[in-house]
């Protein structure tokens, strides 16, 4: 696991500082006329590889958090946003850290997680393309309630908290998309809490996780539904409050029953109705 500050030590902070450290290839900045700081647009990526997606032109532009804003607000954001590529396993921020700003995922996947004093951990949310991180903390100024780490190589837009608050002050209409995004996050948090609290049996929790993934991101593929799941069994276990050994045993049972099979970095769900029946019978 690498943090942003670790990458800065390895590759140099350049003109963009700790808040957006990544493998540096090329940086272009614009001067903020009010305070002279180098903010502007940041373009970074693995050696020899530049980001291929331009904000507003990707496959997720319609449902993206940034697309909720009106044109004047989007133009203001694009003036100061920073875009960077992160490899897998980079921690964007840690639980309890003061908020530096918001992160919008262009591509890839991020996990948010928390740890107990005893050292146990739980994955609270997986954040995909078009979704935002750090919104509530940037609004209130309170420390990040969770940590965030890249599950896959990811392209991320960053907007500092100072620029974010300035946007709200200068464009009051920005509060509407903020409220919508927070409402969606609250709904998903409630659904996750409900899954952990009401699905007492781990079989029901695992089935619920896979069925939700299939519904949100599943791809039709004969003879079933492909679920892309770029996580380890330990990550899955942390998502549903159990152990890796238990997840491995249940998945092995389901493979023997012909309910699913492994495929690359995910699963092919062969009998979704059987899996739904298992969930209901163990709820």
Confidence at 38, pLDDT banded by 50, 70, 90: very low
Q: Which two tokens stand for residue 271?
A: 């009998």
Burial 105-121 (b: 16+ CB within 10 A, else e): bbbbbbbbbeeeeeeee
CA 268 remoteness from chain centre: 23
**Calpha distance 283→278 (Å, rounded):** 9
Predicted TM-score (pTM) of this structure: 0.62
Percent of the chain at pLDDT above 70? Answer: 71
CA angle 178, 181, 185 (to 5 degrees): 135
Domains, in order of start, for the chain: 2-194 (2.60.120.10), 200-281 (1.10.10.10)
In this structure, are residues 133 and 154 in contact, taking their beta carbons and an 8 Å threshold? no
The sign of the torsion formed by the CA atoms of 255, 258, 260, 262 equals: positive
Tell me the per-residue pLDDT of 140-186, one tens digit each, with 9 for 90 and over.
Answer: 999 999 999 998 899 999 999 999 999 988 888 888 888 888 888 88
């Amino acid at each position: 696991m690498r943090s942003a500050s670790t990458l800065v030590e390895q590759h140099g902070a350049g003109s963009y500082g700790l808040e957006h450290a990544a493998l540096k290839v090329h940086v272009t900045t614009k001067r903020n006329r009010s305070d002279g700081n180098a903010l502007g647009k940041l373009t970074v990526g693995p050696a020899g590889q530049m980001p291929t997606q331009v904000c507003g032109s990707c496959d997720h532009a319609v449902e993206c958090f940034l697309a909720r804003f009106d044109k004047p607000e989007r133009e203001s954001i694009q003036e100061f946003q920073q875009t960077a590529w992160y490899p897998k396993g980079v921690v964007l921020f840690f639980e309890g850290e003061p908020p530096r700003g918001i992160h919008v995922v262009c591509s890839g996947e991020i996990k948010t997680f928390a740890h107990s004093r005893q050292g146990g951990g739980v994955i609270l949310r997986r954040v995909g393309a078009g979704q935002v991180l750090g919104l509530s903390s940037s609004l209130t100024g309170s420390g990040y309630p969770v940590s965030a780490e890249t599950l896959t190589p990811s392209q991320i837009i960053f907007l500092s908290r100072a620029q974010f608050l300035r946007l709200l002050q200068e464009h009051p209409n920005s509060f509407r998309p903020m409220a919508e995004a927070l409402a969606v996050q609250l709904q998903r948090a409630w659904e996750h809490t409900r899954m952990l609290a009401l699905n007492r049996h781990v079989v029901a929790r695992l089935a619920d996780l896979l069925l939700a993934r299939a519904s949100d991101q599943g791809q039709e593929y004969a003879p079933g539904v492909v679920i892309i799941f770029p996580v380890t069994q330990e990550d899955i276990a942390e998502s549903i409050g159990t152990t890796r050994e238990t997840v491995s045993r249940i998945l092995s049972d389901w493979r023997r029953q012909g309910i699913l099979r492994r495929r690359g970095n995910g699963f092919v769900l062969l009998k979704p109705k059987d899996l739904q029946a298992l969930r209901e019978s163990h709820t």
